[in-house]
Structure 1
Amino acid sequence: MISVALPCYNSKEGLEACLESLLAQTWEDFEVVAVNDGSLDDTLALLRRYAARDSRIRVFDRPHGGVVQAMNFAVEHCRGEYVARMDSDDVCLPERLALQKAHLDRHPHLGLVGGLVRFGGDPETGRGYKAYVDWTNTLVTEEEISVSRFVESPYANPSIMFRKELVSRCGPFYDGPFPEDYEFLLRLMAAGVRMDKIPREVLIWNDPPSRLTRTDPRYDPDAFYRTKAGYLARWLASRGIGRVSIIGGGRITRRRALMLEEHGIVIDCWLEVDPDKIGQRAGGRPVCSWHDVGAPQGEFLVSYVGSRGAGARIASELEERGWIAGIHFLLAA
């Protein structure tokens, strides 16, 4: 019923704990499709030792091609109806597979399910990462995930389980200068795939210094903004929205928001709180006062203010003025 897709590259440090957590699952009818992506350490030998111990672990050895190629190879060789993503430096909690399978069984309209995750890094050196984990854990329902998808990825990638048929319908993970996991989720949602989470912890999400999100340029902030711009523009156009006003007028905000114009969305103005900027023009557009925004009157707002906690404050103020997320405004940072 369940296949666990596990790409591995130089994974010796965390791999044993990862595999032990899978073999300790309360749901026992699963396979682990482990792909060694040309590791230079003892990853392959460790995988083979575990495969000799438990026939549910299937090991494939490939020349190094990167995580996306290894991941797609793993999914291609998955025999289960459901595919669970897993990273070799993370740990599954014992009921993860059972809980997610039961949820998909009970809700056939869903194509993908996640779960809450526990931060497994240093709370001091990994404060930013922990803040992101805490934010993802606030998003559980379909509506919460859908309306928040353009802020950041609403899922910890190794916490998801999805129906394998989605790959045939929507395509595999794409390889390019962008975060492949986030792009995959945005593409599924754009295709109408429904998804949510179970409100239980399913994974310990570790944060080692070697994690790709820390070291690979495809996961830098601008790569995320470029990825989301196309899907956000498509979402707006599908609702007949061709013009927006942007909350935030700083240089970085403007650069990221202007990516929307590459996809046909017109930016009418910047909404700012800094009184020294209000009344000026930036990039050929007027800078207007955020404080003058009243009840919605047909315009659509997109917030690109990225400072910590700003999104929640902006959403709260807009809702007090009668604006509804997903109807009148969206957060994109």
Structure 2
Amino acid sequence: MIKKNGKNKSLSLQSMNKAEISILLPFYNAQTTLKRALESIRQQEYSHFECLMVDNNSSDSSSEIAREFQKTDPRFQLISEQKQGVVFASNTAYKMARAKYICRMDADDIMTPNRLLLQKKYLEENPKLDVVAGLVKYIPHHENTQGFKRYVKWVNSLLSYKDIYNNRFVESPIVNPSAMWRKEISDQYGMYKAGDFPEDYEMWLRWLSKDVRIQKFPEIVLHWQDSNTRLTRTHQIYNDKAFFKIKTAYLAKWLKKNNPHYPHVAVWGASRISRQRASLLLALGITIDSYIDIHKKRDLNTPILYYQDIPEAGKIFILCYIKEEIAKKKMMDYLDNKDYVLGENYMLIS
């Protein structure tokens, strides 16, 4: 911890002037967690950073907490953004950023002490890599968090660019506050956009559509704190409907470029919810020729293809709308045994 004396403030000022990492930290009414988050930043092993703290109209003592850090450590800068929303607060911080690397952080999370050092080094040692995220340790707020636990287990399993690329239409393959990237990438392809969609997921989809290379450092870099008030739990732009709407839009664009049978697809998953989600493609120019099912008899307007009657690889392109993990694993094993290749002959959507 940096003490309130001239020598340490001078060292902090030197670190700020040599900052190679700009940390973007928007906050709103985060008085119970903000100090802990900022302390985890101040105690980083790598010291050449600037932390851009953006108060987004807080009505609690959050701004006072941030102001104390600014007083004692010049690497911390307090900014105000009146337009409500994490998109606007994050982008305001980005406009102030001076460093070559951009790091995202949330006000209720904790960085591991070596996070900045590990991710910066990883980018330096991999010049063809554009973004590095990391593993997260999930900190639940109560016992009824099985959905988030499953998501963390899944997202932590995606390390390589190929795995992230091939799974990006399932859910967001990156935990936003675990990411660091080269500023030139966001300068070129843009930052967060405001809309009726999760802003971080849209940005990852947009960047991946531009061949931005994303990987993960295979160590925990963030303690990801859950709470009843976390935006991903409370705001409608983070619900399932919003996720499917934005990923379907990017999926349709991807199919136009990569599906050799465009606009024709087959959808594996004939349940009502699978058909409902797949139907979003119709308005975007995609034709669903058939639904693949494990049952021979199901009465639908669209033809049903029994899974054992699937043609050899290369004859059709399959979109997999199966969410249940055991069923999905069996489906993937079956397709692999028929020489279907993920990302070439089929794609996972749920």
TM category (shorter chain) comes to: over 0.9
Q: SS of the counterpart of 1:198? A: strand
**Mapping of residues 152-301 of structure 1, within 5 Å:** 152-239=171-258, 240=260, 241-277=262-298, 280-281=299-300, 284-301=301-318
How far off is 1:330 after superposition? 0.7
Judge conservation of contact 1:123–1:130 (CA < 8 Å) in 2.
no
Q: Residue in 1 aligned with 2:15? A: none
Q: Residue in 1 aligned with 2:324? A: 307
How far off is 1:291 after superposition? 3.1
Return 5+ residue gaps in structure 2 as ranges.
1-19
How far off is 1:305 after superposition? 1.4
Identical positions, percent: 36
Q: Aligned match of 1:19 in 38, 43, 57?
A: 38
Judge conservation of contact 2:131–2:182 (CA < 8 Å) in 1.
yes
Q: SS of the counterpart of 1:13? A: coil
Measure the CA separation in 2 of the matches of 1:166 and 1:13. 34
Q: Residue in 1 aligned with 2:115? A: 96
Judge conservation of contact 1:179–1:218 (CA < 8 Å) in 2.
yes
Q: 1:82 to 1:309 in 2, by over 3 A?
A: farther
- Structure 1 runs of 4+ aligned residues shifted over 3 Å read none
Judge conservation of contact 2:141–2:228 (CA < 8 Å) in 1.
no
Q: Residue in 2 aligned with 1:62? A: 81
Q: Aligned match of 2:162 in 129, 143, 153?
A: 143
Q: SS of the counterpart of 1:128? A: helix
Judge conservation of contact 2:159–2:216 (CA < 8 Å) in 1.
yes
Q: Residue in 2 aligned with 1:323? A: 340
- 1:171-230 Cα shifts (integer Å, max 9, x gaps): 120000000000000000101111101111100111111011100000000111111111
CA RMSD of aligned residues (A): 1.3
How far off is 1:290 after superposition? 1.9
How far off is 1:168 after superposition? 2.0
Task: Pick which of 8-17 and 163-172 moved more.
Answer: 163-172
The one-letter code sitting in structure 1 at the alignment partner of 2:97 is C
Measure the CA separation in 2 of the matches of 1:321 and 1:119. 37
Judge conservation of contact 1:117–1:201 (CA < 8 Å) in 2.
yes
Task: Pick which of 320-329 and 180-189 moved more.
Answer: 320-329
The one-letter code sitting in structure 1 at the alignment partner of 2:24 is A
Q: 1:207 to 1:108 in 2, by over 3 A?
A: same
The one-letter code sitting in structure 1 at the alignment partner of 2:220 is E
Size of the aligned set, in residue pairs, is: 329
The one-letter code sitting in structure 1 at the alignment partner of 2:343 is G
**Mapping of residues 62-141 of structure 1, within 5 Å:** 62-122=81-141, 124-141=143-160
Measure the CA separation in 2 of the matches of 1:26 and 1:309. 42
The one-letter code sitting in structure 1 at the alignment partner of 2:104 is R
Q: 1:66 to 1:98 in 2, by over 3 A?
A: same
Task: Pick which of 165-174 and 44-53 moved more.
Answer: 165-174
How far off is 1:141 after superposition? 0.5
Q: SS of the counterpart of 1:135? A: helix
How far off is 1:312 after superposition? 2.8
With normalisation by structure 1, the TM-score equals 0.96
